[in-house]
Amino acid sequence: MKKSLRRWAWLAVGGVVLGLIVYNLSRSPEWRDFRWDRLWASITHARPGLLLLSVGMVYATYFMRALRWKYFLDPIQKASLGVLLAAQFLGFSSIYLIGRPGELVRPAYISKKENIPFSAMMAVWLLERIFDGVFMVLLFSTALFFMPLGADSARGATLLVAVHEGAYGLLAFSALVVAFLVLFRLQTETLTRWLIRALGFLPGAWHRHLEHFLHSFSSGLTVIQNWKDFLASVATTVVLWAFNTTIFWWVLKSLRGSLDQITWLMGAVVLFCASLGLVIQFPGIGGGVQVGAILALTELFHVGVEEATGAAILVWVVIFVPCLLAGIVLLVREGLSFRKLEALAEEERAATVETL
């Protein structure tokens, strides 16, 4: 299937799922009585001081991500922190504007700038995803331990079960991937030889390309055997998710009213539900993130629908706009465009595939 068709198919499936969620929400009495004037009032009366602090911390999260990538890459090659920081802004703004294809922009950009094999960068990208998934579940579990949640409605109980199952599924999947990566990094030579023998029917040139790819991928996992950089990457992940939670907490509290009573741990639960919504991502408008945050606020914390909707919109704006502004500045400075970044990512991916 062509790239454009895959993208439209994914957007269509996501649109149907999101539409069903919104449709079911709209049938509830609370949403039938939705008042736009209350939504507007909740947003316009937000505390500007907390919003400015949130924006500052958003930029701090990108610095922490860049620092974590530096620790990931140090065992392979010393990379410029400036390049890594630029890659975070360009990569995430690409995701926000062009959707999931933008995921490959960060590893492709760093690969090009630092002359590191793209397959090694993809291993680092996978490590980042695992770190984020595991720590997000740990954060959610900690919040539930200190703040047990209950639901007063059947829909709230269903949501709570779904959130728990999502956490368990994410943790189990992450554990399996971690086990595989550790085994592969520690037994690269053995597993590579086994795979080459298993694919003995392929031409000899393919074997050489495959062996090169596997060794490059393994080099991207070197941090697993380097305790100093591994512990540093764990520490930066802890700080990163503490910052992410604080951003949600400050934005929610900025809206006053019932949201002013939101605690930091409640913010962690809302963040987790919003993060699960990242599965459905629409270029330029988000989608699942807002729905996840609204559901958490209305069904688990009994916040009014207008306040919850205003909070979800404001969270998205606070996270989206600072990154996009930084991304545009970097694009102008380097004479790039988001389409060129997407083409760069596709070029690096295709070049890696051709080695197989």
Of the two residues 214 and 115, the one the predictor is more confident about is 115
- How does residue 242 score in pLDDT terms, banded at 50, 70 and 90? very high
The pLDDT of residue 25 = 52
Angle at the Cα of 258 from the Cα atoms of 316 and 254, rounded to 5 degrees: 45
Highest mean pLDDT among 65-69, 118-122, 148-152, 284-288: 65-69
Handedness of CA 318, 319, 320, 325 (dihedral sign): positive
Q: Are 214 and 188 in contact (CB under 8 A)?
A: yes
Q: What percent of the chain has pLDDT over 70?
A: 77
How many Cα atoms within 13 Å fall on the side-chain side of residue 140? 24
Compute the average pLDDT of residues 135-159: 75
| Overall size of the chain counted in residues | 356
pTM: 0.79
Instruction: Kindly report, residue by residue over 159-216, the tens digit of the pLDDT.
Output: 777 777 777 887 788 788 878 877 877 787 788 778 777 777 767 666 676 776 777 7
**Cross-strand partners of 286:** 282
Give the C-alpha separation, 93 to 113, whole Å.
18
- How does residue 296 score in pLDDT terms, banded at 50, 70 and 90? confident
Q: Which of 177, 163, 160, 142 is nearest to 276 (CA)?
A: 163
Measured between its terminal Cα atoms, the distance across the chain in Å is 19
Task: Tell me if residue 286 falls in helix, strand or coil.
Answer: strand
What letters, b where the CB count within 10 A reaches 16 and e where it falls short, cover 306-326?
A: bbbbbbbbbbbebbbebbbeb
Helix 227-254 to helix 305-334 angle, to the nearest 10 degrees? 130
- How does residue 221 score in pLDDT terms, banded at 50, 70 and 90? confident
Considering the chain, what is the average pLDDT of its residues?
Answer: 80
The pLDDT of residue 13 = 46
Residue 170's alpha-carbon distances to 80, 134, 238, 288, in angstroms, are 32, 8, 18, 17
Contacts of 6 (CB under 8 A, 6+ apart): none
Of the two residues 8 and 327, the one the predictor is more confident about is 327
Of the two residues 174 and 52, the one the predictor is more confident about is 52
Of the two residues 278 and 175, the one the predictor is more confident about is 175
Give the C-alpha separation, 327 to 283, whole Å.
15
Quick check: 100 pLDDT over 70?
no
Structure token digits, residue 335:
């004479």
Give the C-alpha separation, 125 to 123, whole Å.
5
Of the two residues 182 and 248, the one the predictor is more confident about is 248
